[in-house]
Amino acid sequence: MAQPTLRANGVDAELALFECLDEFHQQITQRLAVLKQLVDALGPEGASAAQRAQALDLANWFGVEARQHHLDEERHIFPALLTSADPDLSQHTLRLIQDHGWIEADWVEVSPVLRAIAEGQGWVDVESLRASVEVLCQLYLDHIALEESLAYPEARARMEPARAAALLRDIERRRQQRESREEVRA
């Protein structure tokens, strides 16, 4: 799956940053759909080799990339919203931060089961996993909707171009490191 493209320098940094964050949300949504398809396709006979590989890819991606995305938001997007004079905006931002905690708790429940599938272990309770994935997916989708409709527009209006450019550079640096690690593994 393609990574968000970064193309900012200077005055367009805020636009590029929020386009990057929106693209990342699209990736999350796509991977949630893949996760649901994977879980729905699992049967009593166990996972195929392709399903095991898919489970490992999903476990790795959500365990690293999605977590980093949440950290970026908490470090760079939410602080200006928390100090807003608008109490509703501050309250919604606190909810988004709390959502990150709930998403993490849900992920901690799903991740070891995905890794077990990836390793070909047969102890997986598919119905329980299906229910957990449904909760995780719905929480993510509701969370993304609130970020894109409220938090991102408000943060973009408040963000200094230099701060946006710094975050873009940080995201790009991590992407290059990740791609280097992937090349070594290949």
Assess if residue 48 is contained within a domain: yes
pLDDT of amino acid 4: 44
Assess if residue 5 is contained within a domain: no
Residue 5 pLDDT more than 50?
no
Assess if residue 8 is contained within a domain: no
Q: What is the CATH number of the domain that holds 108?
A: 1.20.120.520
Cα–Cα dist 182/109, whole Å: 26
Provide the whole-model pTM: 0.88
Assess if residue 57 is contained within a domain: yes
Q: What is the pLDDT of residues 129-138, one digit of tens each?
A: 999 999 999 9
Its domain, for residue 138, covers 13-185
Assess if residue 1 is contained within a domain: no
Residue 1 pLDDT more than 60?
no
Number of independent structural domains in the chain: 1
Assess if residue 7 is contained within a domain: no
